[in-house]
Structure 1
Amino acid sequence: MCGIAGFLADPPLTGAPDEVITSMLSTIRHRGPDQAGYYLDDGLAMGTVRLAIVDPADGAQPMSDPTERYWICFNGEIYNHVELRAELEGLGRPFRTDHSDTEVALQAWIQWGPACFARFNGPFALAIRDTATGGLVLARDRYGKRPLYYAEHGGALLFASEAKAFGAFPGFRFELSPPDLASIYAVWTPLPDRTPFAGVRQLPMGCYLEAGGGRRSPRAYEELSFDVPGFDGTEPEAVAFVRESLRTAVELRLRSDVEVGVYLSGGLDSSVVTSLATQLSRHQVRTFSVAFRDKNFDESDSQLLVAEHLGTLHSALPVTGADIADNLPSAVYHAEVPAFRTSFVPMFLLSRHVRDAGIKTVLSGEGSDEAFLGYSLFRETMLRERWHGLTDAERRAGLATLHPELSHFGPAHQGHLLGLYQQFATERLPGLFSHELRYQNGRFAARLLASREDPFADLLDLVARAPGYQAMSAVQKAQWLEYKTLLPGFLLSTQGERVALAHSVENRCPFLDPAVVRAASAVNLRFDDGWNEKAVLKKAFRAELPQWTTDRPKQPYRAPGSEVFKEHRPDYLELLLSDAELGKLDFLDQRFARRLTDRVMASPAEDVSTKEDQAFVYLLTTAVLHRQFVLDGAGRNGGSAAPALDLKVTVDRRHAVRTGKEAR
């Protein structure tokens, strides 16, 4: 796990490119405190800050092939690097390290070109330089687990694992983009190629970009699809099939030269991962969790039950509302995007706790709900799709099972819910049927902006152009949208990778193994009607987990919302309470933002609706982001806003490569 940054300038950057790349790397040094290095040649600078997990001794970056024609900066893990190395060695590819997955990625590119990326099992973002052609390729993993941003500025192509690195490039300034903010508020996350910053883009998941000799648009090396042959065996065979795919996925993700821990939420998914890890690990597994002081959000009893049952060495971090209020700005700085809920802040604190315990990498259960249809969203989609053919009693029964954790889905509210679902039983936004109810909260939040452009226009365009999307079932479209928006845009990033790497902790997700995703697609809805979510997964692990873990209704991970800021009144709340400060966000509808703030601050927590709570958290995190990046210039002066860590840089310098001159 690492962070990468660099630029390709034509003509070459005047001044001192080594100082520029060093400053860019300094802004992301929290991602890789173990080693740093950069590579320079005509017009190109690229570097890596490294968190040494695989081959700590010989995996230093940037890394070249033996001919020094190709150079790579790599962020991520290739879990099947052992198998790929054997295949590449059989094809005659030379290796200089014993087991570096970075070298495997480079040799795979040399051997197979862009086709290599679909062979990688694991998250990655990389940059590869071909000194013979002057070309540069950027690529990102199929699920968007590792971030990769790029921007055009002053004739240069900038790229980095975190956008804040661009602030260290001469003359670069951040500005928030109102159209992109509108989309983020409405959809809950950035679209695959977007960010909240004007001119800054993400390389979409499953894509690569080739630069040099003219700019090119990102191209897909693999499209997201759930169209796999259905499992034609018996239910016991399906259970064994799913279990074995997950066992292999966990085994691959335990490949590490450092100890691997586990995030244990107490739910089914993390318990499954923990169970397999205890069977496959060489040491007693250490598990980590968040324990809320507020019992409305706390799941520590379930966590302890699983930890004791499986014999893990468990550590829970108590988190209070004051902790959330105190640490939100730091978490936003690392997330680099407005958020609709505060749940990423406890995970920011948990990763610091894990780092202090001496653990560099953890397994977690992200990706299970998307693969195995675990969200109530999927059941809701099926209910709404069948709505017109159901009796009133059947509709009421369906509604009663959707959100047992939410009080406003209780019996007293069924009359209102029946009317609401009747309104949304017919598609209104083409291709977005499954998410239309969710997006009503987002539509409310988009009213924060002075501009009244359609906040769903870009998403509608995305699904209209997506290969094979129109032929998918309603549930498959719901899956596709989750894999393209909430999963990479919040769960794997804001609440996952970004807050974990803030404290130099790598997060590994067995449920994002391509074989597991294919296995889930093959068995989904074939041995149940969709209402007993994850039926096959539960049966695969029922014998080794506490009965409560497999039988209880799903409890989504949640954290206290807007009430914590009202109760604890952090100093930065003045960004909203002061008319002068709020006025600096000139892209907002000032009147709506003021009314929302006043209502949330004056009302009891139980009187603030979900959509109001989400809009307030969006507003506050946008104000904090604007202060950090636009007004204070995050990334300037070599990353002065970043934690003060030692940065040891080794230099490989190749000036005027085309003339054959070289200096080290």
Structure 2
Amino acid sequence: MCGLAGFLSAELQGDAVPQVITSMLSLIHHRGPDEAGYYLDDGIAMGAVRLSIIDIAGGSQPMADRTGRYWICFNGELYNHIELRDELRGLGRTFRTHSDTEVVLQAWIQWGPACLTRFNGAFGLAIRDAATGELFLARDRYGKRPLFYADRPDAFLFASEMKAFRAFPGFRFELDPRELASIFAVWTTLPDRTPFRDIRQVPVGGLLTVRGERRTLSTYEQLRVDAPPFTGTEEDAAAFVREELRKSVELRLRSDVEVGVYLSGGLDSSIVTKLATDLSRSQVRTFSVEFEDKTFDESGSQRSVAAHLGTLHSSLAISSADIAENFPAAVYHAEVPAFRTAFVPMYLLSRHVRDSGIKVILSGEGADEAFLGYSLFRETLLRTSWNELSDEEKAAKLGSLYPELGHFGPGHRKHLTGLFSQFSTERLPGLFSHELRYQNGRFAVRLLKDRDEPFGDVLDLVRTTPGYAALSPTQKAQWLEYKTLLAGYLLSTQGERMGLAHSVENRCPFLDPAVVRAAASVNLGYDDGFQEKAILKKAFHGELPQSSLTRPKQPYRAPGAAAFKDRRPDYMELLLSDTELAHLDCVDPVFARKLVNKVMSTPDPEISTKEDQAFVYLLSTAVLNHQYVRNQEDRVSAEPAPRMEIRTAVDHRLSRLSVGGTR
């Protein structure tokens, strides 16, 4: 795991080039505190900060091939590097290190961009072809690692985190009202977007080629949520899924440092923990958060699973004060407005994990998307058939819709009956499954002065995606979850960015391509869609505490607006003052002030979910504006970068013989 940064510029010359690339790397030093290096050539500078996990002694970056033609900066891990190394050796390739980075480089030289489909990993990479002058930027198929770029008249910038751009002379951040409207409406950034004007992401499964003034963006692998149906028995399907998960965890335990597990107490993380304990030679260490507010706490389930599996468990207690105090730092690392505070405890947990001596963590992200674990999927199934059901059937289905809500009663069902009747037909073409969710987004968009059509970009996304229209309603829901909330929030804001804030790498066994394909082949083949993760539960029956298999899914949540009401941190009063709101050009100050006043003066139970989400959006946007837009004149970040020793520096302009100096 690492972070990378660089630029193409004909205007920046002399000593300014190494100074700028060093400053860019310093701003993402938290991603890779173990070593750093850069490579310079005519018109290009690129570098990496490294978190040493595979081949600690030999995997320094940037790395070149023996000829010095190809250079790579690689952020991430290639889990199948051993198998690919053997295949490449059989084709005549030779290796100088045991690192996965060199496997990626040699695979590129052997197969070109076609190698990307062979990779089982999490990555953002930059490869320079010194012979042609081309720069290639690529990102993994599920968006587990970020890669941003800014195309300016004077330079082309790229980095693992946008904050690195502030080190480039003349660069300025500016919030983009159109992108904010889309983020508020859809709950996350779209695959190639950011909240800032003129900054984009390499999309998931994307390859961007830069040569001179030409930019070519392509997709090397399309997301597939459909697959030929599994034809065996239910027992066969369970065994098939279990074996694919076992192999996935085994691959992700490959490391030259100890690997821990995030244990939430739910089914997904319990399965990962179970397989990790089966495959590890030493006692597995597990980590979790517990909440002072018992509404959100799952510590009892966590302790039960840890005791059952014999892990060395460590739990971090989180209070509302902790969330309020650490919110700005977490937003600084997230670099995007957020609709809930659940990423802040993950920021604190990763610090606890790193303080415990762990660099690598396995987690359960991707399971709900792959195995249809969200209530969203059950809602979609029910709404699709709503007009064909009798009143008795509707009531029965509603009764089993939200098993996690113990207080769900007849009054709620009456409300849902009206709501489902209202949304039983599609209003936004292609977005039927998410229209209920997007109602909260519509409310949050009222925070903005210019709203236009906040769903325009996501409508264009599904309209222009080949094969999307032919998917079933549930598959469309699944596709949207993968492309939006999973990549844009769960894997990034709540996952990767919070982990790397404290130099902890997150690995996701449920997002192995083979596991995703297995899930697609068995989904809905053995139940009616209302039996939550029936195949997963059958696959691990008798191996986990019974409570893990029978208790309803409890979504991971954290205190929202209530955390700030209890604490009232000084920064909140400053950022949401009339003076500060006036600096947020995109925000409607009248609506914002009404929202803040209501949230701060109303008892928590009377604050709706949409009001709570809109408040967190407003606060995180104000923090982001303060950190990235208003404070850029003095070039100071929210967390000053530490002094950084550059252990690898190759100036290819000065010595064409220095290509071996990558250590």
- What is the SS of the residue equivalent to 1:382? helix
Contact 2:60 2:648 in 1 (8 A): no
- The residue identity in structure 1 corresponding to 2:652 is R
Measured after TM superposition, the shift of residue 280 of structure 1 is 0.2
Contact 1:33 1:647 in 2 (8 A): no
Match of 2:651 in 1: 653
Aligned pairs for 1:324-473 (under 5 A) are 324-406=323-405, 409-473=408-472
* Cα separation, 1, equivalents of 2:38 and 2:253: 29
Q: Is 1:58 paired with 2:50? A: no
- What is the SS of the residue equivalent to 2:548? helix
Aligned pairs for 1:598-613 (under 5 A) are 598-613=597-612
Measured after TM superposition, the shift of residue 430 of structure 1 is 0.1
- What is the SS of the residue equivalent to 1:636? coil
Measured after TM superposition, the shift of residue 152 of structure 1 is 1.4
* Cα separation, 2, equivalents of 1:55 and 1:14: 34
Contact 1:128 1:136 in 2 (8 A): yes
- The residue identity in structure 2 corresponding to 1:644 is P
Contact 2:240 2:518 in 1 (8 A): yes
What TM-score results when the alignment is normalised by the length of structure 2? Answer: 0.97
Contact 1:575 1:582 in 2 (8 A): no
* Cα separation, 2, equivalents of 1:29 and 1:218: 28
Match of 1:24 in 2: 24
Give per-residue Cα distances to partners, 1:379-399, cap 9 Å, x unaligned. Answer: 100000000001112112222
Measured after TM superposition, the shift of residue 663 of structure 1 is 11
Match of 2:534 in 1: 535
- The residue identity in structure 2 corresponding to 1:512 is L
- What is the SS of the residue equivalent to 2:392? helix
Match of 2:139 in 1: 140
- The residue identity in structure 2 corresponding to 1:647 is E
Measured after TM superposition, the shift of residue 648 of structure 1 is 3.4
| Aligned pair partner of 1:641 in 630, 639, 642 | 639
- What is the SS of the residue equivalent to 1:470? helix
Match of 2:46 in 1: 46
Match of 1:307 in 2: 306
Give per-residue Cα distances to partners, 1:109-155, cap 9 Å, x unaligned. Answer: 11111111111001000000111111110000000000000001242
Contact 2:30 2:502 in 1 (8 A): yes
- The residue identity in structure 1 corresponding to 2:60 is A
* Cα separation, 2, equivalents of 1:650 and 1:514: 34
Contact 1:445 1:618 in 2 (8 A): yes
Give per-residue Cα distances to partners, 1:597-616, cap 9 Å, x unaligned. Answer: 11001100011000000000
* Cα separation, 1, equivalents of 2:212 and 2:295: 57
Measured after TM superposition, the shift of residue 574 of structure 1 is 1.6
Measured after TM superposition, the shift of residue 13 of structure 1 is 4.3
Q: Structure 2 vs 1, CA of residues 541 and 660 (structure 1 numbering), >3 Å: closer, same or farther?
A: closer
- What is the SS of the residue equivalent to 2:650? strand
Name the stretch that deviates more: 44-53 or 147-156. Answer: 147-156
After the TM superposition, list the runs of 4 or more consecutive aligned residues in structure 1 that deviate by more than 4 angstroms: 11-15, 406-409, 659-664
* Cα separation, 2, equivalents of 1:132 and 1:477: 43
Measured after TM superposition, the shift of residue 636 of structure 1 is 2.8
Measured after TM superposition, the shift of residue 402 of structure 1 is 2.4
Q: Structure 2 vs 1, CA of residues 407 and 619 (structure 1 numbering), >3 Å: closer, same or farther?
A: farther
* Cα separation, 2, equivalents of 1:447 and 1:215: 39
Measured after TM superposition, the shift of residue 635 of structure 1 is 9.6
* Cα separation, 2, equivalents of 1:645 and 1:536: 51
Give per-residue Cα distances to partners, 1:234-270, cap 9 Å, x unaligned. Answer: 1111111000000000000000000000000000000
Measured after TM superposition, the shift of residue 634 of structure 1 is 9.1
* Cα separation, 2, equivalents of 1:259 and 1:593: 47
* Cα separation, 1, equivalents of 2:498 and 2:243: 31
Contact 1:168 1:635 in 2 (8 A): no
Q: Structure 2 vs 1, CA of residues 549 and 635 (structure 1 numbering), >3 Å: closer, same or farther?
A: farther
Contact 1:27 1:635 in 2 (8 A): no
- What is the SS of the residue equivalent to 2:215? coil
Match of 2:617 in 1: 618
Match of 2:93 in 1: 93
Contact 1:653 1:663 in 2 (8 A): no
Match of 2:239 in 1: 240
Match of 1:187 in 2: 186
- What is the SS of the residue equivalent to 1:72? strand
Segments of 5+ residues of structure 1 without an aligned counterpart are: none
Segments of 5+ residues of structure 2 without an aligned counterpart are: none
Match of 1:274 in 2: 273
RMSD: 1.6
- What is the SS of the residue equivalent to 2:325? helix
- The residue identity in structure 2 corresponding to 1:468 is G
Q: Structure 2 vs 1, CA of residues 29 and 403 (structure 1 numbering), >3 Å: closer, same or farther?
A: same
- The residue identity in structure 1 corresponding to 2:350 is S
Give per-residue Cα distances to partners, 1:472-530, cap 9 Å, x unaligned. Answer: 10011001100000001110000000000000000000000000000000100111111
Match of 1:72 in 2: 72
Q: Is 1:8 paired with 2:8? A: yes
Q: Structure 2 vs 1, CA of residues 473 and 663 (structure 1 numbering), >3 Å: closer, same or farther?
A: closer
- The residue identity in structure 1 corresponding to 2:646 is K
Aligned pairs for 1:585-600 (under 5 A) are 585-600=584-599
- What is the SS of the residue equivalent to 1:366? coil
- The residue identity in structure 2 corresponding to 1:467 is P
- The residue identity in structure 1 corresponding to 2:319 is T
Give per-residue Cα distances to partners, 1:559-601, cap 9 Å, x unaligned. Answer: 0010110110001112454211111112111111111011001
Give per-residue Cα distances to partners, 1:429-470, cap 9 Å, x unaligned. Answer: 000000000000001001100003010000000100011101
- What is the SS of the residue equivalent to 2:488? helix
What TM-score results when the alignment is normalised by the length of structure 1? Answer: 0.97
- The residue identity in structure 2 corresponding to 1:152 is D
- The residue identity in structure 2 corresponding to 1:394 is E
Contact 1:29 1:645 in 2 (8 A): no
Measured after TM superposition, the shift of residue 645 of structure 1 is 5.4
Match of 1:486 in 2: 485
Q: Is 1:521 paired with 2:513? A: no
- What is the SS of the residue equivalent to 2:125? strand
Q: Structure 2 vs 1, CA of residues 466 and 656 (structure 1 numbering), >3 Å: closer, same or farther?
A: farther
Measured after TM superposition, the shift of residue 661 of structure 1 is 9.8
Measured after TM superposition, the shift of residue 405 of structure 1 is 3.5
Contact 1:174 1:198 in 2 (8 A): yes
- What is the SS of the residue equivalent to 1:75? strand
- What is the SS of the residue equivalent to 2:48? strand
What percent identity do the matched residue pairs reach?
68
